[in-house]
Amino acid sequence: MEKQPFLGAHQAGILTPQQASMMLVAFDVLATDKADLERLFRLLTQRITFLTSGGPAPDTPNPRLPPMDSGILGPYIAPDNLTVTVSVGHSLFDTRFGLQAQMPKKLQKMERFPNDSLDAALCHGDLLIQICANTQDTVIHTLRDLIKHTPDLLSVRWKREGFISDHAARSKGKETPVNLLGFKDGTANPDSSDNALMNEVVWVTGEQGEPTWAIGGSYQAVRIIQFHVEFWDRTPLKEQQTIFGRDKHTGAPLGMQKEHDVPDYTNDPGGDVIALDSHIRLANPRTKETQSSLMMRRGYSYSLGVTNSGQLDMGLLFVCYQHDLEKGFLTVQKRLNGEALEEYIRPIGGGYFFVLPGVQDANHYLAQSLL
Protein backbone atom coordinates (compact mmCIF):
# COMPACT_ATOMS: atom_id res chain seq x y z
CA MET A 1 0.00 0.00 0.00
CA GLU A 2 1.69 3.16 -1.16
CA LYS A 3 1.55 5.94 1.38
CA GLN A 4 3.13 9.40 1.33
CA PRO A 5 3.83 10.93 4.75
CA PHE A 6 1.78 14.07 5.38
CA LEU A 7 3.77 15.28 8.41
CA GLY A 8 7.21 16.86 8.00
CA ALA A 9 9.12 20.11 7.60
CA HIS A 10 7.74 20.51 4.08
CA GLN A 11 4.46 19.52 2.47
CA ALA A 12 4.39 16.45 0.24
CA GLY A 13 3.57 16.73 -3.47
CA ILE A 14 6.52 18.92 -4.41
CA LEU A 15 9.54 16.62 -4.33
CA THR A 16 7.33 13.51 -4.39
CA PRO A 17 7.90 11.54 -7.63
CA GLN A 18 4.98 12.45 -9.87
CA GLN A 19 1.91 10.26 -9.40
CA ALA A 20 -0.22 9.44 -12.47
CA SER A 21 -3.21 11.72 -11.68
CA MET A 22 -3.40 15.29 -10.45
CA MET A 23 -5.91 18.03 -9.91
CA LEU A 24 -5.52 21.71 -9.24
CA VAL A 25 -8.43 23.37 -7.45
CA ALA A 26 -8.46 27.05 -6.61
CA PHE A 27 -10.87 28.30 -3.97
CA ASP A 28 -12.27 31.56 -2.72
CA VAL A 29 -12.25 31.52 1.08
CA LEU A 30 -15.69 32.27 2.53
CA ALA A 31 -14.46 32.58 6.11
CA THR A 32 -14.86 36.17 7.25
CA ASP A 33 -12.59 36.30 10.29
CA LYS A 34 -9.43 34.80 11.63
CA ALA A 35 -11.23 32.35 13.89
CA ASP A 36 -13.02 30.84 10.89
CA LEU A 37 -9.80 30.78 8.92
CA GLU A 38 -8.19 28.81 11.73
CA ARG A 39 -11.17 26.42 11.70
CA LEU A 40 -10.64 25.95 7.95
CA PHE A 41 -6.95 25.06 8.27
CA ARG A 42 -7.61 22.73 11.22
CA LEU A 43 -10.30 20.97 9.20
CA LEU A 44 -8.10 20.66 6.13
CA THR A 45 -5.28 19.24 8.26
CA GLN A 46 -7.64 16.70 9.81
CA ARG A 47 -9.08 15.56 6.47
CA ILE A 48 -5.71 15.37 4.71
CA THR A 49 -4.26 13.39 7.62
CA PHE A 50 -7.05 10.84 7.29
CA LEU A 51 -7.13 10.65 3.50
CA THR A 52 -3.36 10.26 3.09
CA SER A 53 -3.19 7.54 5.78
CA GLY A 54 -6.28 5.66 4.60
CA GLY A 55 -8.72 3.59 6.64
CA PRO A 56 -12.31 2.36 6.66
CA ALA A 57 -14.78 4.85 5.23
CA PRO A 58 -16.79 6.36 8.10
CA ASP A 59 -20.15 4.69 8.79
CA THR A 60 -23.38 6.59 8.35
CA PRO A 61 -25.27 5.66 11.55
CA ASN A 62 -28.45 7.49 10.57
CA PRO A 63 -29.67 6.76 7.02
CA ARG A 64 -31.93 9.81 7.21
CA LEU A 65 -28.74 11.87 7.00
CA PRO A 66 -26.43 12.13 3.97
CA PRO A 67 -23.67 9.47 3.88
CA MET A 68 -20.49 10.48 5.70
CA ASP A 69 -18.42 9.49 2.67
CA SER A 70 -19.14 9.80 -1.07
CA GLY A 71 -18.64 6.03 -1.42
CA ILE A 72 -16.57 6.43 -4.61
CA LEU A 73 -13.79 4.24 -3.23
CA GLY A 74 -16.00 1.68 -1.50
CA PRO A 75 -15.83 0.75 2.19
CA TYR A 76 -12.03 1.09 2.50
CA ILE A 77 -10.16 4.25 1.56
CA ALA A 78 -6.67 3.26 0.42
CA PRO A 79 -3.99 5.97 0.61
CA ASP A 80 -3.11 5.30 -3.07
CA ASN A 81 0.05 7.44 -2.89
CA LEU A 82 -2.12 10.50 -2.26
CA THR A 83 -0.56 13.91 -1.64
CA VAL A 84 -2.57 17.07 -0.95
CA THR A 85 -0.55 20.26 -1.16
CA VAL A 86 -2.09 23.47 0.18
CA SER A 87 -0.96 26.92 -0.88
CA VAL A 88 -2.27 30.44 -0.39
CA GLY A 89 -2.73 33.25 -2.90
CA HIS A 90 -1.94 36.94 -2.74
CA SER A 91 -5.62 37.77 -2.07
CA LEU A 92 -5.62 35.91 1.27
CA PHE A 93 -3.41 38.71 2.59
CA ASP A 94 -5.93 41.49 1.91
CA THR A 95 -7.70 43.21 4.82
CA ARG A 96 -10.19 40.37 5.64
CA PHE A 97 -7.99 38.50 8.12
CA GLY A 98 -5.50 41.17 9.14
CA LEU A 99 -2.61 39.20 7.63
CA GLN A 100 -1.26 42.00 5.41
CA ALA A 101 2.04 42.26 7.29
CA GLN A 102 2.65 38.51 7.10
CA MET A 103 2.56 38.20 3.32
CA PRO A 104 5.59 36.43 1.80
CA LYS A 105 7.70 39.21 0.31
CA LYS A 106 7.57 38.09 -3.32
CA LEU A 107 3.94 36.96 -3.44
CA GLN A 108 1.99 38.97 -6.03
CA LYS A 109 -0.95 38.75 -8.37
CA MET A 110 -0.17 37.09 -11.71
CA GLU A 111 -0.06 39.75 -14.44
CA ARG A 112 -0.46 39.16 -18.15
CA PHE A 113 2.65 38.31 -20.22
CA PRO A 114 2.72 39.39 -23.91
CA ASN A 115 1.63 35.97 -25.29
CA ASP A 116 -1.07 35.35 -22.66
CA SER A 117 -4.83 35.21 -23.31
CA LEU A 118 -5.89 34.93 -19.69
CA ASP A 119 -9.45 33.89 -18.89
CA ALA A 120 -10.47 35.53 -15.60
CA ALA A 121 -12.47 32.40 -14.69
CA LEU A 122 -9.23 30.35 -14.67
CA CYS A 123 -7.01 32.71 -12.69
CA HIS A 124 -5.91 33.34 -9.08
CA GLY A 125 -7.60 32.19 -5.85
CA ASP A 126 -7.27 32.66 -2.08
CA LEU A 127 -6.23 29.04 -1.75
CA LEU A 128 -4.93 26.41 -4.14
CA ILE A 129 -5.03 22.70 -3.45
CA GLN A 130 -2.96 20.34 -5.57
CA ILE A 131 -4.19 16.75 -5.26
CA CYS A 132 -2.06 13.93 -6.72
CA ALA A 133 -2.53 10.14 -6.49
CA ASN A 134 -2.05 6.93 -8.42
CA THR A 135 -5.64 6.98 -9.67
CA GLN A 136 -8.19 9.57 -10.70
CA ASP A 137 -10.81 7.97 -8.40
CA THR A 138 -8.72 8.83 -5.37
CA VAL A 139 -8.15 12.38 -6.58
CA ILE A 140 -11.88 12.95 -7.10
CA HIS A 141 -12.76 11.26 -3.79
CA THR A 142 -10.34 13.62 -2.03
CA LEU A 143 -11.82 16.70 -3.65
CA ARG A 144 -15.37 15.63 -2.75
CA ASP A 145 -14.32 14.93 0.84
CA LEU A 146 -12.64 18.31 1.26
CA ILE A 147 -15.62 20.16 -0.21
CA LYS A 148 -18.15 18.19 1.86
CA HIS A 149 -16.37 19.18 5.07
CA THR A 150 -15.97 22.89 4.29
CA PRO A 151 -19.28 24.11 2.79
CA ASP A 152 -19.33 27.37 4.75
CA LEU A 153 -15.60 28.00 4.40
CA LEU A 154 -14.59 27.37 0.77
CA SER A 155 -16.10 27.94 -2.66
CA VAL A 156 -14.51 26.45 -5.80
CA ARG A 157 -13.18 29.10 -8.16
CA TRP A 158 -11.62 26.94 -10.90
CA LYS A 159 -10.38 23.40 -11.34
CA ARG A 160 -8.29 21.46 -13.84
CA GLU A 161 -7.32 17.79 -13.94
CA GLY A 162 -4.03 16.49 -15.29
CA PHE A 163 -2.25 13.23 -15.98
CA ILE A 164 1.11 11.76 -16.89
CA SER A 165 1.55 8.37 -18.51
CA ASP A 166 1.19 5.35 -16.19
CA HIS A 167 4.55 4.21 -17.45
CA ALA A 168 6.32 7.37 -16.19
CA ALA A 169 4.32 7.36 -12.94
CA ARG A 170 5.16 3.73 -12.19
CA SER A 171 8.87 4.44 -12.66
CA LYS A 172 8.76 6.71 -9.53
CA GLY A 173 10.63 9.53 -11.17
CA LYS A 174 13.14 7.46 -13.12
CA GLU A 175 11.39 7.93 -16.49
CA THR A 176 10.62 11.49 -17.57
CA PRO A 177 6.97 12.04 -18.55
CA VAL A 178 6.30 12.98 -22.17
CA ASN A 179 4.08 16.04 -22.70
CA LEU A 180 1.35 16.39 -25.34
CA LEU A 181 3.81 17.95 -27.80
CA GLY A 182 5.64 14.61 -27.63
CA PHE A 183 8.76 15.80 -25.75
CA LYS A 184 10.13 14.50 -22.48
CA ASP A 185 9.35 17.21 -19.91
CA GLY A 186 11.22 17.45 -16.62
CA THR A 187 14.64 16.14 -17.69
CA ALA A 188 16.76 19.03 -16.48
CA ASN A 189 15.07 19.41 -13.10
CA PRO A 190 17.51 19.81 -10.19
CA ASP A 191 18.15 16.61 -8.20
CA SER A 192 15.39 16.30 -5.59
CA SER A 193 17.48 13.94 -3.44
CA ASP A 194 20.12 16.65 -2.87
CA ASN A 195 18.89 18.39 0.31
CA ALA A 196 21.41 21.23 0.14
CA LEU A 197 20.36 21.98 -3.44
CA MET A 198 16.66 21.82 -2.50
CA ASN A 199 17.30 24.35 0.27
CA GLU A 200 18.92 26.59 -2.29
CA VAL A 201 16.36 26.19 -5.07
CA VAL A 202 12.97 25.16 -3.65
CA TRP A 203 12.49 25.93 0.05
CA VAL A 204 12.28 29.23 1.85
CA THR A 205 14.96 29.14 4.54
CA GLY A 206 16.05 31.80 7.01
CA GLU A 207 18.25 33.29 4.24
CA GLN A 208 15.73 35.20 2.14
CA GLY A 209 14.47 37.65 4.77
CA GLU A 210 10.96 36.18 4.53
CA PRO A 211 8.63 36.25 7.56
CA THR A 212 9.67 33.41 9.91
CA TRP A 213 6.30 31.64 9.59
CA ALA A 214 7.11 31.04 5.90
CA ILE A 215 10.27 28.98 6.49
CA GLY A 216 9.82 25.53 4.98
CA GLY A 217 7.36 26.83 2.38
CA SER A 218 7.88 27.52 -1.32
CA TYR A 219 6.58 29.80 -4.06
CA GLN A 220 4.39 28.00 -6.56
CA ALA A 221 3.73 29.33 -10.08
CA VAL A 222 0.84 27.72 -11.94
CA ARG A 223 0.13 28.28 -15.63
CA ILE A 224 -2.61 26.65 -17.67
CA ILE A 225 -1.09 26.50 -21.14
CA GLN A 226 -3.17 25.44 -24.13
CA PHE A 227 -1.37 23.81 -27.07
CA HIS A 228 -2.24 24.22 -30.76
CA VAL A 229 -1.70 20.49 -31.30
CA GLU A 230 -3.13 20.29 -34.85
CA PHE A 231 -0.68 22.98 -35.99
CA TRP A 232 2.19 21.30 -34.06
CA ASP A 233 1.44 17.93 -35.65
CA ARG A 234 1.90 19.55 -39.10
CA THR A 235 5.30 21.01 -38.14
CA PRO A 236 8.43 19.23 -39.42
CA LEU A 237 10.31 17.15 -36.86
CA LYS A 238 13.51 19.14 -37.38
CA GLU A 239 11.70 22.38 -36.59
CA GLN A 240 10.04 20.89 -33.49
CA GLN A 241 13.44 19.81 -32.21
CA THR A 242 15.02 23.20 -32.97
CA ILE A 243 12.23 24.89 -31.01
CA PHE A 244 12.99 22.87 -27.88
CA GLY A 245 16.72 22.29 -28.48
CA ARG A 246 16.32 18.57 -27.77
CA ASP A 247 15.90 15.34 -29.70
CA LYS A 248 12.25 14.29 -29.68
CA HIS A 249 12.82 10.59 -29.04
CA THR A 250 15.89 10.39 -26.79
CA GLY A 251 15.31 13.74 -25.08
CA ALA A 252 19.06 14.48 -25.44
CA PRO A 253 20.18 18.06 -26.08
CA LEU A 254 20.74 18.45 -29.85
CA GLY A 255 24.21 17.23 -30.83
CA MET A 256 24.41 14.92 -27.78
CA GLN A 257 23.54 11.28 -27.18
CA LYS A 258 21.73 10.81 -23.89
CA GLU A 259 18.76 12.42 -22.21
CA HIS A 260 20.74 13.61 -19.19
CA ASP A 261 23.79 14.86 -21.11
CA VAL A 262 24.41 18.50 -20.20
CA PRO A 263 24.91 21.02 -22.99
CA ASP A 264 27.91 23.36 -22.88
CA TYR A 265 26.80 26.56 -24.55
CA THR A 266 30.29 28.10 -24.42
CA ASN A 267 31.17 25.75 -27.31
CA ASP A 268 28.17 26.98 -29.31
CA PRO A 269 28.05 30.76 -28.84
CA GLY A 270 26.19 31.41 -32.11
CA GLY A 271 23.51 28.79 -31.52
CA ASP A 272 24.51 26.61 -34.50
CA VAL A 273 23.69 23.38 -32.61
CA ILE A 274 21.14 24.56 -30.05
CA ALA A 275 19.39 27.71 -31.30
CA LEU A 276 19.69 30.83 -29.18
CA ASP A 277 15.90 31.14 -29.06
CA SER A 278 15.30 27.45 -28.27
CA HIS A 279 13.22 26.73 -25.18
CA ILE A 280 15.96 25.06 -23.12
CA ARG A 281 18.59 27.66 -23.93
CA LEU A 282 16.38 30.61 -23.04
CA ALA A 283 14.96 28.84 -19.96
CA ASN A 284 18.40 28.00 -18.63
CA PRO A 285 21.39 29.65 -20.36
CA ARG A 286 23.65 27.81 -17.86
CA THR A 287 25.79 30.83 -16.98
CA LYS A 288 26.96 31.72 -13.48
CA GLU A 289 24.57 34.68 -13.39
CA THR A 290 21.53 32.57 -14.26
CA GLN A 291 22.19 29.82 -11.68
CA SER A 292 19.85 31.66 -9.27
CA SER A 293 16.86 31.19 -11.60
CA LEU A 294 16.66 27.42 -11.06
CA MET A 295 13.27 25.91 -10.23
CA MET A 296 11.58 22.54 -9.74
CA ARG A 297 8.99 21.86 -12.46
CA ARG A 298 6.17 19.36 -11.85
CA GLY A 299 3.85 19.71 -14.82
CA TYR A 300 0.94 17.53 -15.95
CA SER A 301 -0.89 17.17 -19.28
CA TYR A 302 -4.57 17.95 -19.61
CA SER A 303 -7.09 17.02 -22.27
CA LEU A 304 -10.63 18.39 -22.30
CA GLY A 305 -13.19 18.75 -25.08
CA VAL A 306 -13.07 20.91 -28.19
CA THR A 307 -12.63 24.69 -28.31
CA ASN A 308 -15.24 27.03 -29.83
CA SER A 309 -13.18 27.08 -33.00
CA GLY A 310 -13.20 23.27 -33.29
CA GLN A 311 -9.65 22.65 -32.07
CA LEU A 312 -8.68 19.99 -29.54
CA ASP A 313 -8.50 21.58 -26.09
CA MET A 314 -5.35 20.13 -24.58
CA GLY A 315 -2.14 21.35 -23.06
CA LEU A 316 -0.04 21.58 -19.97
CA LEU A 317 -0.75 22.37 -16.35
CA PHE A 318 2.63 23.94 -15.74
CA VAL A 319 3.54 23.99 -12.04
CA CYS A 320 6.91 25.02 -10.66
CA TYR A 321 8.34 25.57 -7.19
CA GLN A 322 11.11 27.90 -6.09
CA HIS A 323 12.35 29.74 -3.03
CA ASP A 324 11.99 33.12 -4.75
CA LEU A 325 9.22 33.78 -7.30
CA GLU A 326 11.07 36.69 -8.90
CA LYS A 327 14.43 34.98 -9.26
CA GLY A 328 12.78 31.77 -10.43
CA PHE A 329 9.58 31.76 -12.48
CA LEU A 330 9.35 35.49 -13.28
CA THR A 331 12.96 35.77 -14.48
CA VAL A 332 12.68 32.62 -16.59
CA GLN A 333 9.31 33.56 -18.08
CA LYS A 334 10.66 37.00 -19.04
CA ARG A 335 13.55 35.30 -20.85
CA LEU A 336 11.06 32.99 -22.60
CA ASN A 337 8.90 35.90 -23.83
CA GLY A 338 9.11 35.84 -27.64
CA GLU A 339 10.49 32.26 -27.79
CA ALA A 340 9.88 30.23 -30.98
CA LEU A 341 7.47 27.94 -29.05
CA GLU A 342 4.99 30.83 -28.55
CA GLU A 343 3.33 30.25 -31.93
CA TYR A 344 2.12 26.87 -30.66
CA ILE A 345 0.96 27.73 -27.15
CA ARG A 346 -1.53 29.99 -25.41
CA PRO A 347 -1.34 30.54 -21.65
CA ILE A 348 -4.95 30.93 -20.51
CA GLY A 349 -4.88 30.86 -16.70
CA GLY A 350 -3.12 30.09 -13.43
CA GLY A 351 -1.73 32.19 -10.64
CA TYR A 352 1.00 32.55 -8.05
CA PHE A 353 0.69 30.93 -4.64
CA PHE A 354 2.78 30.29 -1.56
CA VAL A 355 2.93 26.67 -0.39
CA LEU A 356 2.49 26.57 3.38
CA PRO A 357 5.31 25.01 5.43
CA GLY A 358 4.76 21.39 6.43
CA VAL A 359 2.90 20.26 9.54
CA GLN A 360 5.56 19.10 12.01
CA ASP A 361 3.53 16.67 14.10
CA ALA A 362 0.00 15.59 14.94
CA ASN A 363 -0.38 18.45 17.47
CA HIS A 364 -0.01 21.10 14.78
CA TYR A 365 -2.10 22.23 11.80
CA LEU A 366 -1.52 23.83 8.41
CA ALA A 367 -0.83 27.60 8.50
CA GLN A 368 -0.56 27.55 12.30
CA SER A 369 2.60 29.68 12.24
CA LEU A 370 0.85 32.21 9.98
CA LEU A 371 -2.20 32.60 12.17
- Could you give the count of Cα atoms lying within 13 Å of 295 in the half-sphere of its Cβ? 27
| CB of 334 or CB of 364, closer to ligand HEM | 334
Please give the single-letter amino acid code of residue 276.
Answer: L
- Report DSSP state, residue 327: I
Burial class (CB in 10 A: 0-12, 13-18, 19+), 151: exposed
| CB of 27 or CB of 232, closer to ligand HEM | 232
Least Å distance between CB 345 and ligand HEM?
4
What SS3 class is residue 87? strand
Q: Nearest CA to 262 among 285, 241, 279? A: 285
Least Å distance between CB 153 and ligand HEM?
32
| CB of 50 or CB of 344, closer to ligand HEM | 344
| CB of 2 or CB of 272, closer to ligand HEM | 272
**Residue numbers of the site for ligand HEM (CB under 6 A)?**
179, 181, 183-188, 223, 225, 244, 246, 279-280, 283-284, 295, 297, 316, 318, 329, 332-333, 336, 345
- The answer to whether 357 touches 217, Cβ cutoff 8 Å, is yes
Least Å distance between CB 106 and ligand HEM?
15
- The answer to whether 83 touches 133, Cβ cutoff 8 Å, is yes
| CB of 58 or CB of 338, closer to ligand HEM | 338
Q: Nearest CA to 135 among 176, 78, 57, 85? A: 78
Least Å distance between CB 259 and ligand HEM?
8
Least Å distance between CB 104 and ligand HEM?
19
Q: Nearest CA to 150 among 171, 179, 174, 129? A: 129
